[in-house]
Structure 1
Amino acid sequence: MIRLDDVQIFVRTADAGSFSEAARQLNIAPGQASACVQRLEKALETRLFTRSTRSMQLSEAGERYLPHARLMMDAQERGELALADGRSALTGTLRLSAPSDFGRNLLLPWLDDFQHQHPGLSLQLKISDRAADLIRQPLDAVVRYGTLPDSSLLAMTLAGDNRRALCAAPAYIERHGAPTKPEDLRQHNCLRYVWSEQVHERWRFTLPGGERTVAIMGNRMSDDADAVRRWAIAGKGLVYKSRLDLIDDLKAGRLVELFPAAHCEPAPLSLICADRSRLTPAINALHLFLKDRCAALLASHPPRDDIG
């Protein structure tokens, strides 16, 4: 018999990359997380992770099982949400923070639809490329890219498979050509942005021969990632940022993807709460709603791995 809590811990461990990090997020002991995954492996009669003294990663079977495990967890959340919706409508104020590009161009229209579904909710939205402090600021949740550095917070995956994309406008490529390998970036104008007081100027890639990090340079930088995307569309240089933020531009031909998706840095997107006690019905509903919208957007323009 497969236990849903074991499946939940397996999914959280796959996202976190370790039993200890998954255990911290779920407020359980690391040994308990490991035991739950081992029990799931026994029930499935297969190894879901390959482990060594230094690392742990999904096995081939684990890679195949993970999407189905996510569907099981989604089904459980939807069932709980359906029961909650049947008991009472969502009301009150939902206070959110989101990064600039995602917040302005994707989240704003999505929140219109979400509030239309739940008219009893009031929304307060802060848009900023500074990392919001869930402990000190009056926020219910934040939308954030990247791996969660503070293990005391609770992260709910919105787009775990999202990656960065290296892109340029057709006009820029016509004038300057396209890079074919990371080292070529040193000869190009790379558009930089500041996230939480740190300049994003070391661009990382994963190639068949290993990881490469390139220190890039350029003549434009902003603390607003949306401005950097707009510069790229105008042909001012190369941009390297979340593919979710760039999909509409890629579909419209305003930008061109230059490197295979598998070579680009992961950029998982999460909805984050201060702790499990903040998981209100409104937050749970928003999590499922945004997760569906992210999945649909990524599926509308799948990445190509045969670029170049």
Structure 2
Amino acid sequence: MKKIENLENLRVFCEIVETGSAREACEKLHIEPSNAFRIIRAMEKELKSKFFDRSQRPMKLTPEGKRYYSYVFRILQLEEELEEELTDSADSLTGPIHVASTAGFRESLIVPSAVEFQMKHPGISIEVKDMVSGVSEFLTTPDNESNDIVFMYRPSDELPEGAILRDCGPMHFIACASPAYLTQQGEPERPSDCMRHTGLLLRLPNRTSVSYLSKNGVTEKLDWKQTMAFTSQVNARDALLLGAGIVPDMAFDQCVDYLKDGRIVPVMRGWTRPPRHCCVITTEKALRKKRVRLFADWLTVRATKYTDEMNKAFFSFPRKGL
């Protein structure tokens, strides 16, 4: 067998590339460095190419090495997927489920749903992770550990090939602040008044704070005296409760309890941004596993009920308040 046809040799090459160190790669693979270098030299000889620039420390991939690595990575990825398909029964109710979402949804929906599901299916382990990028990057992660399910707002971009979206209903947003902030800074009546205020803005993986609000068909731009930006809606809410400023588009589910007890109050009443639809996104590959299908169904039902309850609460909230 040629060196380039041996998967173990390909793993040696990939490990050296990914660790950036032949010594670390050999320690991880439990082989002698001399054997690793012998394998690499034999592969280079067979392909009549140089993969590494050995004049640099640490060694750098040559252009040929980069191209070779892109193919080898895909070959090993396919081999891992094949092994998973053969060893992990599609009908098994044991094994892991990888779920990703942003902090707000994790706190209010994902974690409670996962806990309840796992209590009914103790053989299934659920890993709940922070979503740090858009769906195209997060369904297949750079570390090659794919997520089975992502819960997020409906993406504006086209879904990746093989992705399946389940709509769970709309979420509304309001502009709000704490009573302490308004006592000190005054209350804006419309977006143009925000030039005298601090904006607490969101920079989430699939949603950023809007630069405008609308009311009765009229749209006004939001300009702020100063701003603070957050990559977590939970953190933005905490800053809001501390009297730091105004969130122009807080998701209603993240503030409804605080609205009821008066710790958060609406501002710019009637001015709002369009709602966004919540959705469960998974893949054809993930849904081959019964455990993933069950949890995707479980989460979809609970998320749909959750958004329905939030919509009823939003429209039944005193009109003078929103």
- Band the TM-score falls in, shorter-chain normalisation: 0.5 to 0.7
Which residue of 145, 152, 158 corresponds with 2:153?
A: 145
* Larger-gyration structure (1/2): 2
- Which of 235, 241, 258 does residue 249 from structure 1 map onto? 258
Shift of 1:220: 2.2
State TM-score, norm by structure 2: 0.59
Unaligned runs of 5+ in 2: 1-90
Q: What is the total number of aligned residue pairs between the two structures?
A: 219
For the pair 1:172 / 2:185, whether they are aligned, the reply is: no
Gaps spanning 5+ residues in structure 1: where? 1-87
- Let me know the Cα RMSD of the aligned residues: 3.0
Q: 1:124 aligns with which of 105, 127, 149?
A: 127
Cα deviation, residue 217, structure 1: 5.0
Is 1:202–1:215's contact at 8 Å kept on the other side of the alignment? no
Q: Indicate how the Cα distance of structure 1 residues 148 and 284 shifts in structure 2: closer, same or farther if over 3 A, else same.
A: farther
Give secondary structure in 2 for the equivalent of 1:125.
strand
Q: Quick check: 2:131–2:205 contact (8 Å CA) kept in 1?
A: no
Alignment check: 8 A CA contact 2:175 2:272 kept: no
Q: Cα distance, 1:246 vs. partner?
A: 1.7
TM-score under structure 1 length normalisation: 0.61
In 2, are the aligned partners of 1:202 and 1:213 still within 8 Å (CA)?
A: no
Task: For 2:268 and 2:106, locate their aligned partners in 1 and report how far apart those are by CA, in whole Å.
Answer: 26
Question: Could you give the per-residue CA deviations for residues 195-239 of structure 1, whole angstroms, max 9, x where no partner exists?
Answer: 2398x3543322213333424453422222221110001111011
Sort the Cα spacing of 1:171 and 1:229 in 2 relative to 1 into closer, same or farther, 3 A: same
> What do residues 233-291 of structure 1 show as CA deviations (whole Å, max 9, x unaligned)?
11110112211222222223221122446733312211112348737232122211222
Displacement after TM superposition at 1:139 (Å)? 0.5
Residue equivalent to 2:307: 294
Specify the code of the residue in structure 1 equivalent to 2:312: A
SS at match of 1:268: strand
Question: Is 2:175–2:246's contact at 8 Å kept on the other side of the alignment?
Answer: yes
User: Partner residue of 1:159?
Assistant: 169
* Residues 93, 122 of structure 1: 8 Å contact kept: yes
Distance in 2 of aligned mates of 1:165 and 1:148: 21
Kindly state the Cα deviation for residue 90 of structure 1 after the two structures are TM-superposed.
5.2
Residues 54-133 of structure 1 mapped to structure 2, 5 A cutoff: 91-132=94-135, 133=138
Q: Distance in 2 between matches of 1:158 and 1:147?
A: 13
Change (3 A) 1:139 1:307: same
2 CA distance for matches of 1:275 and 1:187?
50
Q: % of aligned pairs identical? A: 19
* Structure 2 counterpart of 1:48: none
Distance 1:236 1:209 in 2: 30
For residue 238 of structure 2, the aligned residue among 230, 234, 251 is: 230
